[in-house]
Amino acid sequence: MSLVVVGSVAYDAIETPHGKRERTLGGACTYIALSASYFTRANIVAVVGGDFEASDRALLASRNIDLQGLEEVPGKTFFWSGVYSNDMNDRRTLQTDLNVFADFQPKLPASYQDEPYLLLGNIQPALQSDVHRQMKQLRFAGGDTMNYWINDYRAQLVETIRTWDFLLINDSEAKLLAGETNLRKAASKILAMGPNTLVIKRGEYGAMLFRHDTLFMIPGYLLEEVHDPTGAGDCFAGGFVGYLAQQGFDLRNGNIDVQDLHRAVIYGSVMGSFCCEEFGVDRFNTLSRKEIDQRFEEFRRFTAF
């Protein structure tokens, strides 16, 4: 019941109103895999340079993440730096050095090809399709994208997501993709583009799940302190798909419980909230499954009526 995750592994320099880090482990694939690892085994497909630290590899391994697909090539690991606004709802990119990521051609280890769950992090749509095609026993597959691909690679992106079971994007991306400012209408248009399950993330404002047979909405978990929102959306994705993998959610064979999808959205939101509590991936050094389940129950208490 394990999950294949494709995307970036990076080093980030981050500044928020709560502090600054010059170089900390990051990247969508990293956050997704760390988050999903609390629910299922995660198998990553990514590339790093010769500067990738043994301690970072050890953190991933400590979460039982399969690193066979983590390719190391000469050169430097993808580097990103950014500064957050005072309320942390906006961020400005200062620097993006693709480095070894510029030539990333995902190589799927043979042992991954029969896994049932696939989460394609935000990379070029053609590469996402390339990996998707190599998977043979999928039960639930999909991924993320971003404004850049929606604007400049629209045809390729539309062709890519046509075969996905789920798409996980934020609200501004959903509006952009659908060409529609009303989210309910945007969701209908996107569901007509292929994915039968659409999750729209709204940051601190929560998330929504759209399908032909259900609509589910939740507020965001209200944190006392947000130290660093970097990776929260990817941790959401990892919690969402990770929980479904744990449940053996089997869309292709029709063995699904819509309530599992609702609970998966809550777990996604819970994982995103933990991610924000410390800088970079630091929270994953101490986070336990027990804390996760406690926050899930807290969510129930805070939203029941």
Give 267's contacts (C-beta < 8 A, 6+ positions apart): 39, 239, 240, 242, 243, 292, 296
Min separation Cβ 87 and a second copy, Å? 6
**Which range, of 62-70, 161-169, 216-224, 234-242, touches a second copy by CB under 8 A?**
216-224
DSSP strand pairing (197-201 vs 166-170): parallel
Interaction of residue 62 with a second copy, rule CB under 8 A = no
For residues 149 and 177, what is the distance between their CA atoms, to the nearest angstrom? Answer: 10
| Contact set for a second copy, span 14-43 (CB under 8 A) | none
How is residue 104 written in tokens?
Answer: 């990333």
Size of the site for a second copy (CB under 8 A): 32
Query: Binders of a second copy among 86-145, rule CB under 8 A?
Result: 86-87
Amino acid at 168: L
C-alpha pair distances (Å), 3 with each of 29, 32, 69, 266, 298: 12, 10, 12, 19, 27
Please select the residue that binds a second copy; options are 118, 265, 276, 287, rule is CB under 8 A.
265
Binding segment toward a second copy, per CB under 8 A, in 115-123, 230-238, 240-248, 296-304: 296-304
Q: Which residue's structure tokens are 């042992």?
A: 111
C-beta closer to a second copy: residue 102 or 215: 215
* Least Cβ distance, residue 60 to a second copy (angstroms): 30
Restricted to residues 190-209, the positions that interact with a second copy (CB under 8 A) are: 202, 205-206, 208
3-state class (DSSP) for residue 197: strand
d(CA 169, CA 145): 7
Member of 181, 253, 285, 288 binding a second copy (CB under 8 A): 181
Q: Give phi and psi for 142, each to the nearest 5.
A: 175, -160
With a CB cutoff of 8 Å and minimum separation 6, the contacts of 106 are 6, 45, 46, 69, 123, 127, 130, 131
Smallest distance from a second copy to CB 205, Å: 4
Show the site string, 223-252: x = touches a second copy by CB under 8 A, - = not.
xxxx--------------------------
Q: Min. distance of Cβ 93 from a second copy in angstroms?
A: 23
11 or 216, CB closer to a second copy? 216
Cα–Cα distance for residue pair 71/190, rounded to 1 Å? 34
- Taking CB under 8 A as the criterion, the residue among 61, 111, 289, 302 binding a second copy is 302
Within a 10 A sphere around the Cβ of 281, how many other Cβ atoms?
A: 25
Nearer to a second copy, 97 or 260 (CB): 260
Q: Which of 98, 219, 247, 278 binds a second copy (CB under 8 A)?
A: 219
Within 13 Å, how many C-alpha atoms sit on residue 141's CB side?
Answer: 25
Q: Please, what is the minimum distance in Å from the beta carbon of residue 150 to a second copy?
A: 18
Q: Which stretch binds a second copy (CB under 8 A): 39-47, 182-190, 272-280, 284-292?
A: 182-190
Backbone phi and psi for residue 143, each to the nearest 5 degrees, phi listed first: 180, -160
Cβ contact 95:69 at 8 Å: no
* Interface positions with a second copy (CB under 8 A): 86-87, 181-185, 202, 205-206, 208, 215-220, 222-226, 259, 262-263, 265-266, 300, 302-305
